Structure 1
């Protein structure tokens, strides 16, 4: 991995997870700096990982070859306006994890056609099991694309989309989907409790079943998901009765509609920002 001087503007959970993954991957802590208005999160990062910290975004910009833009989307405009007013941004790479802000809008906020990579991680990145979507236009070199991929590869798997609107598909399939699974687990836990199990036992059963199912998917990449399902669905058995109920109740249509709703909302947010 290239050892660029990397600054994080914003010291929230996602910044922490990326920093943690980078350090574990062998990134030099002296090449990482985090900036944040308040000190508690910064001090915790410095204590845990030994990185540099500052409360000044200008200092972060001066230090960095690449900057991770990790502030809330609604705060991005003011932050970048101040940054480009006081600093020379020439030669710097920008990695944005702000949802809803397209590259063209970020470049407008930066005041020039600077290289920007849009990054859409999901919450399992916090434990190194993330799935991140990335997009970059022609202003980003192949070396900088590889660098962005390496940075996010430190917290999980990555996928690049050719067109920027593909990021919305990543949101639907990976960014938002952990919540889908949590909802499904919640429903199973609650039904298990109705069957007489206490809350902890019910949770242990359904979470271990999902963990095992996920591991089976990962360990059998050449087997289609439909075939994996068929292998555990004996004709006329209990699993078949449950699966047929899901199908009869329109599970596939519901999943399709939910993912489409996520895409539609992402498109709406882009227009609002």
Structure 2
């Protein structure tokens, strides 16, 4: 009888031991799974944080390059050409004075830019500045004839520093205009940089959505020499940001630099 009891107790002890081992194994597995889930969650949070930091970094560096010619923010240069045959469908004649009287193509601008240049000229006049338009819209064909003329005059290498290859001119967008002050002899000439009108534009153009497109010392980025007379409409918000940063449109959009 005693032997039977001992055997029974042994069997019970064996089952209890196995049950404990199984419970411990299950506990260990649960702990391992919990640890794995925790690590995955932490890894996911770290990845999200990294993505947010990358996004913020990209936002700080600039915006995406705009290539749609219908957008007033479009970037046009030798790296980002206009579509072949592009012509704006909302060209109008802004109510401003030019250095010529004829109602010709180079008076035209896109409607939004035309309204903005009217406001800019009016503000300049209120401050005692007499601005005049020199050249606004140019078709592809007009730009081609002009560029060919400059190449024949100065050679292609020099011509490309101050005149756009056809299809790469901002004037074709209808968003750009060259201006001059009271001394019309400085129209599209370096002497304009020393005028009171040039200083006024530097300080006030952004309030009306315009930037000085080709900045001094940025020739390797824009592909053109300093042109304080060349105004480009991009909209008030972007114009103010670009002007406050003191950068070119290429830098603002993190675009490929132009190099002649």
Whether TM-score is above 0.5 comes out as no
- TM tier relative to shorter chain: under 0.3
Compute the TM-score of the two structures, normalised by the length of structure 1: 0.25
